[in-house]
Amino acid sequence: MNQSKPDRLFVTALARGLELLRAFRRGERYLGNGEFASRTGLPKATVNRLTHTLTRLGYLEYQAELGKYCLGAGVLALGYAYLSGLSLREKARPLLAELAAETESSVVLGAREQLHMVCLEICQGHPLFRLNLDVGVRVPHGLTALGRAHLCGMPAAQRDDWLQRYRAESSLPDWAQTEASIRQALRDYQEYGFCYSLGQWNPEVYAVGVPLSVPDGSGSLALSLSGPVFNMHKERLVGELGPRLLALRDRLQGSIGSGR
């Protein structure tokens, strides 16, 4: 956790507890206090108090036979409350599925979560290729078309603040190259209305992304369309798929505004 400016309203204890919950990686079931301490940088004594508190509140469950913790049902309840309150997701699902089938691609709706994007909805349309994602899975922000599109939709001052934080907290080995690719995405967005990622996150996947502004309080989201390199190339992304994703975004925003 890196706070660039002192914030008297910031509750450090709460932030540390949430960092423990975020320490779980995809496919992991159990973590011990030592692993929590290693991943968060917190002292073991602090981790002991936090895991005890989170267990009492139902956000962690302690497995005595392993001496480790797993996520509790309280986390699922929070996630379900978020998804069930996101009316846009229900409206988006059939539109995403239609575009995915017509273009033989994977179409994703996502939102920012710290230095990642989290998938809110995904529709797979290629008969042989499936993006290895599901609802709730996080992907890197700066390396993906989904994350870059989210950045393109930010006001300039907010985006610059975010990039400073990303630079300070990112574990990417070559930040200069990542930042250069983000700056290029911003220029592409100015030219085309969308941005793309040509294998930077996954060398076998090309993708295009657009920001999505939601007036219902859901915040700033993004859409991406991804596919295997054998079915995608830059010319197709720019000439066909980017414009189609833009049309989906505009159609979705129109349905929100009209209440349909």
Task: For residues 152 and 201, state if they share a domain.
Answer: yes
For 202-224, write each residue's pLDDT tens digit.
899 999 999 998 765 456 899 99
- Total domains, the chain: 2
The token pair at 171 is: 């574990």
Using DSSP bridges, classify how beta strands 60-63 and 219-228 pair: parallel, antiparallel or unpaired.
Answer: unpaired
Task: For residues 35 and 161, state if they share a domain.
Answer: no
For 226-246, write each residue's pLDDT tens digit.
999 988 989 999 999 999 999
- The CATH number assigned to the domain holding 38 equals 1.10.10.10
What does the DSSP 8-state code read for residue 108? E
CA gap 143, 112 in Å, rounded = 13
Lowest-confidence range among 31-45, 106-120, 128-142, 208-222? 208-222
Mean pLDDT of the chain: 87
Task: For residues 217 and 249, state if they share a domain.
Answer: yes
Domain contains 168: yes
Instruction: Determine the pLDDT at residue 3.
Output: 46
Which of 78, 101, 123 is the last residue in one of the domains?
78
In percent, how much of the chain has pLDDT > 90?
47
Cα dist from 224 to 74, 85, 215, 239, 259, whole Å: 30, 22, 20, 15, 24
Task: For residues 177 and 95, state if they share a domain.
Answer: yes
Task: For residues 135 and 32, state if they share a domain.
Answer: no
Q: Residue 215: give the domain boundaries.
A: 85-258
Which of 55, 78, 101 is the last residue in one of the domains?
78
Task: For residues 94 and 119, state if they share a domain.
Answer: yes
Task: For residues 177 and 157, state if they share a domain.
Answer: yes
Which of 51, 78, 105 is the last residue in one of the domains?
78
Query: Confidence band (pLDDT; 50, 70, 90) for 255?
Result: confident
- The CATH number assigned to the domain holding 171 equals 3.30.450.40
Q: What are phi and psi of 116, to 5 degrees?
A: -130, 170
Task: For residues 74 and 164, state if they share a domain.
Answer: no
Instruction: Determine the pLDDT at residue 257.
Output: 58
For 125-147, write each residue's pLDDT tens digit.
988 888 888 888 888 888 899 99
Inform me whether the pLDDT recorded for 2 exceeds 70. Answer: no
Domain contains 141: yes
Domain contains 155: yes
Task: For residues 232 and 115, state if they share a domain.
Answer: yes
Task: For residues 168 and 102, state if they share a domain.
Answer: yes
Task: For residues 180 and 69, state if they share a domain.
Answer: no
Domain contains 197: yes
